[in-house]
Amino acid sequence: MRELTLKNRKGRLKITSEEIKDILETKADFEIIRDISNTTNQNNIFVYDCKLDSDIFDIALIEELIEELKIKDNSLNVSVRFDDIKAYIKDLSEEVESDIEEIYFIDNVKCFFDIYSINEKENDFKFVFLISFEESNRTINSLSEILGKRQLLGMSKFYN
């Protein structure tokens, strides 16, 4: 767990990475969230090792729902592309940014992510999720990529 002292519209406040993890856990999109904020020495940043809920891009489940809805379109081909996953997590990031800004009266919250693992069935997605409380930081996106590579190389509890 990590604690930050930040300035908001009402003054100063302390936020812990555990509090933000609790906010993330309210989202049905995440199956697993691990706080790994202590693995980096960057200021004003929280980092989480996450697994996206496996039902979100489950092709069999999607096809089953289409069948239940009695959609008879032979040209309908259900597949998941990497861009679809990235777009989904990007939308989730924007939602998390908005929630944190609203709860803590903070401006300039930015979320970044790096998908570091996708299984063969393309229904198991692991990624690092980085939340920055700095006004501007050009290196945060690169940091998320570095942390993603580190998780892929064995730091992640998902592989142990």
Q: State how far the alpha carbon of 148 is from the alpha carbons of 73, 80, 89, in Å.
A: 39, 21, 14
The phi and psi torsions of 36 (rounded to 5 degrees) equal -120, 25
Output the pLDDT for position 159: 47
Number of domains in the chain: 1
Residue 76 predicted with pLDDT over 60: no
Find where tokens 């993603």 sit: 148
Q: Residue 85 — very low, low, confident or very high, per pLDDT cuts 50/70/90?
A: confident
pLDDT for 34-59, tens place per residue? 999 998 888 889 999 999 887 776 65
Q: What is the pTM of this model?
A: 0.78
Mean pLDDT across 86-111:
93
Contacts by residues 20-27 (CB-CB < 8 Å, ≥ 24 positions apart):
20/46, 20/100, 20/131, 21/48, 23/96, 23/99, 23/100, 23/103, 24/48, 24/50, 24/96, 24/129, 27/92, 27/95, 27/96
Minimum mean pLDDT range among 11-25, 54-68, 97-111, 134-148: 54-68
Tokens of 73: 């379109």
Residue 8 predicted with pLDDT over 50: yes
Tokens of 60: 């069999």
Residue 98 predicted with pLDDT over 90: yes
> Cβ distance 23 to 100 under 8 Å?
yes
SS3 annotation, the chain: CCEEEEEECCEEEEEEHHHHHHHHHCCCCEEEEEECHHHCCCCCEEEEEEEECCCCCCHHHHHHHHHHCCCCCCCCCCCCCHHHHHHHHHHHHHHHHHHHHHHHCCCCCEEEEEEEEECCCCCCEEEEEEEECCCCCCCHHHHHHHHHHHHHHHHCHHHC
Q: Residue 141 — very low, low, confident or very high, per pLDDT cuts 50/70/90?
A: low
Domain housing 136: 3-159
